[in-house]
A and B are shown apart, each in its own frame.
Chain A
Amino acid sequence: MALKLRDFTRWSEAPAKHVETASTPKINILRGLAARATTPLLPDDYLKLLNPLWSARELRGEILDVRKETEDSATVTIKPGWGFSGDYQPGQYVGIGLRIDGRWHWRSYSLTSIPRRDKKLISITVKATPEGFLSTHLVNGVKSGTIVRLAAPKGDFALPDPPPPKLLLVTAGSGITPVMAMLRSLKQRGQQPDVVHIHSAPSTQDVIFHDELRQLGEDGGDYRLHLQLTDDMGHLDFEAELDGLVADWKDRPTWACGPPAMLDTIEQVWKDAGVSEDHLHMERFVIARTDKGGEGGTVTFALSDKTVEVDGATSLLEAGEQVGIQMPFGCRMGICQTCVLPLESGHIRDFRNGTEHGEGDRIQTCISAASGDCTLNI
């Protein structure tokens, strides 16, 4: 009898088994049953006509509020729709998809909200960068009420619970954002490890969360902040100055986030000092983007665990076939869409019109060449 019930449950949820659920997996039994009447769609596809957040087919959220933090940064508060789990870790990032002129553009931003708190809302803090099309839009142009796409939070840059007794945080610019989630979570949980925080920014006005950081120092916990204001003080010379700032830095598990140059320096200094690798956690925001375009590179096929070096005249389809992957294909001339695969990371270029595609786009492999290193999900 028990077995039959389980069979029935499995049958019921079959059409909805790939749908993410935030609350209870049981909801997919209901969703699956209703999908018998809505096939090939899900009930969500109809319900979202009533409320755009009532769909778990793709994670989505509604922008409630955009609040300026500094001149060029803002905190965006989002109400997630069905299927989004608030069970993330402080330090992780979330994928945000925003529709601009008909196209969805994706970027990842560190969550600055506290997991499972904040009335189930999430927030990200974004710094507008001159070359950052999406970040500029988020800081300056997004109205509340806008519907965005979300990707489930992920990332290894996270603070364990319970935290180590002593730790070091090194951040610069918008690199503060994942660390802010960590600091807020520590406070929320009532944990008070010995924290030293080195943060760099051009000037006081540019320090995101300036008041909150100051407040943390005054709250009397074991939190010490060193602000490196680079307009006056120049960049921190880790090799020469770190010992003076934090005498025991080698003993402290470290979380670092900031521009690539800073992270490269830190990596080197830590390595030279012989500090164990798992003591240093780093988050890199910037993926090196080639401005060459279609010049080839190393293509990684993530699921098949294969890589191949190709030139700019080889299609990604041919690249995959070279290393023996069963790539989906059809017309091989860009008209049938059989070969479309998601681009996991990196950039590619469409042969036909030179359009460059980036992370999160679905691309036709038969008419695309690598623009630097890239990863396909197959």
Chain B
Amino acid sequence: MAISDIKEYTHLTPEDVEELGRELDAIRADIEESRGERDARYIRRAIQLQRGLAAAGRITLFGSKNKVAWTVGTGLLALAKIIENMELGHNITHGQWDWMNDPEIHSTEWEWDTTSPTVHWKKSHNFIHHKYTNIVGLDDDIGYGIMRLTRDQRWERWMIGNPVYNFLLGTLFEWGVAAHGLETTKFRKGEKSKGEVLKDLKIIGKKVGKQVGKDYIVFPALTGRAWKHTLGANAVANLIRNYWSYMVIFCGHFPDGAEKFTQEEYETETPAEWYLRQMLGSANFNAGPLMAFMSGNLCYQIEHHLFPDLPSNRYAEIGERVRALCEKYDLPYTTGPLLRQYSQSFWTIAKLALPNRFLKGTADDAPETHSELKFRIRDGVRETFGVDPATGKRRGLRTAMRELQMA
């Protein structure tokens, strides 16, 4: 049934949680105060690099009849699209760079290079997903209305196609994100009228027209007799970007250890508990500087969810402090190699095609979702937790999980 009492689940007292909240606020304040020219230069250079790559890719593809030019051009273009969507579009739209007061690098002005209109994305992602992160029934990103991602969601017959939908979503990711803006789950529940959906569809249509026009009409036409090759190259570049963004996003909330929550939990939530839910609901993956950049620093998904509007180039340093806090409060910090994180996500998707009666774990104790009941079931475990007066060391959630695993 997912987590309803986050304090009980994390083995923390209300005072502990408030203290943790204050420590996270302090991280935010430190970063906000130290933002300056160094950070501004980072984003300006990222933009220059991205535009340089895009221009180089497009120009190279004028020779797309040549195999080498085709490959190089496609690669450059795919790189440019990935950087634009991840490090630039996603992060700038989050307001990470609004502090610069630069109208050209601002959440209100940026339109990203994908079929989803930024105005929809701000609602479905910045607002709904980041506010209601991993609350079953409130956060549409748990399965996007087309998949079952946790056994807290009731099984329906169409979900048998879970792995197929997953494959299609990865392939058509850009289109999936655009369609997500229609909020079809709300429409199905009757919370959104047909008129409103049509209005949104029109906004999407306009953006799609521009995007499709550029990649599949204008540039092929400009390259003249090589038009077929250019068209193919653009399609492949879009496809590479689709798979990569899909993979990064899926590794953010669906690997084992990224917890799910009930609406009951949300109703009584304090700001400090909101932080805690973000920490438990997100997962990182290991990345060096290059991978971090290509993922838009979303390899630091936990940090991003704690501070969605702090500049992405600072997530690595924030991560060190968040890890230290996890250590202090004995909380899990979910991370691992990209492929392991992804295969965990994939395995969850595959399994959940089946109804719960075929599954081993319960909604209180399964790889993709836990609840405080998991600890209550086994009598007495909880009594041994808290700060050990003798050693001063805290025994909390992480220790409890380890002990249960060994038991």
Contacts and interface: CB of A to CB of B under 8 A. Distances in A.
Interface in A342-363: 353, 355, 360-362
B317 interface: no
B213 A330 contact: no
A334 to B, nearest CB: 8
Given A46-B51, A57-B104, A331-B131, A337 B126 contact: yes
Interface in B25-46: 29, 32, 35-41
A335 B113 contact: no
A336 interface: yes
Interface size class of B (residues with CB under 8 A): 35 or more
B214 A337 contact: no
Contacts of A105: 101
A38 B52 CA distance: 13
Interface in B68-121: 93-95, 98-104, 106-108, 111-113
A8 interface: no
A338 B123 contact: yes
B98 A340 contact: yes
B351 interface: no
Contact of A337 (B104, B222, B309): B309
Given A102-B36, A102-B40, A336 B100 contact: no
Interface of A: 15, 36-41, 45-46, 49, 57-58, 99, 101-106, 149, 330-331, 333-338, 340, 353, 355, 360-362, 364
A337 B360 CA distance: 42
Given A36-B213, A331-B126, A337-B309, A101 B112 contact: no
Contact of A353 (B29, B55, B93, B101): B29
B394 interface: no
A361 B108 CA distance: 12
Question: 4 tightest CB-CB pairs across the interface, nearest first?
Answer: A102-B40, A336-B126, A330-B127, A40-B111
B273 to A, nearest CB: 13
Contacts of B213: 36, 39
Contacts, number: 106
Given A338-B122, A353-B32, A355-B32, 8 more contacts: A99-B40, A102-B36, A102-B41, A330-B126, A335-B131, A337-B126, A340-B95, A361-B101
Given A40-B112, A101-B37, A337-B122, A362 B106 contact: yes
Contacts of A355: 32
B210 interface: yes
Interface of B: 29, 32, 35-41, 48, 51-52, 55, 58, 93-95, 98-104, 106-108, 111-113, 122-123, 126-127, 130-131, 210-211, 213-214, 218-219, 222, 308-309
A68 B303 CA distance: 48
Contact of A104 (B102, B122, B130, B211): B102
Contacts of B32: 353, 355
Given A338-B127, A362-B101, A102 B39 contact: yes
Contact of B55 (A46, A99, A101, A103): A46
A55 B300 CA distance: 35
Nearest to B129: A336
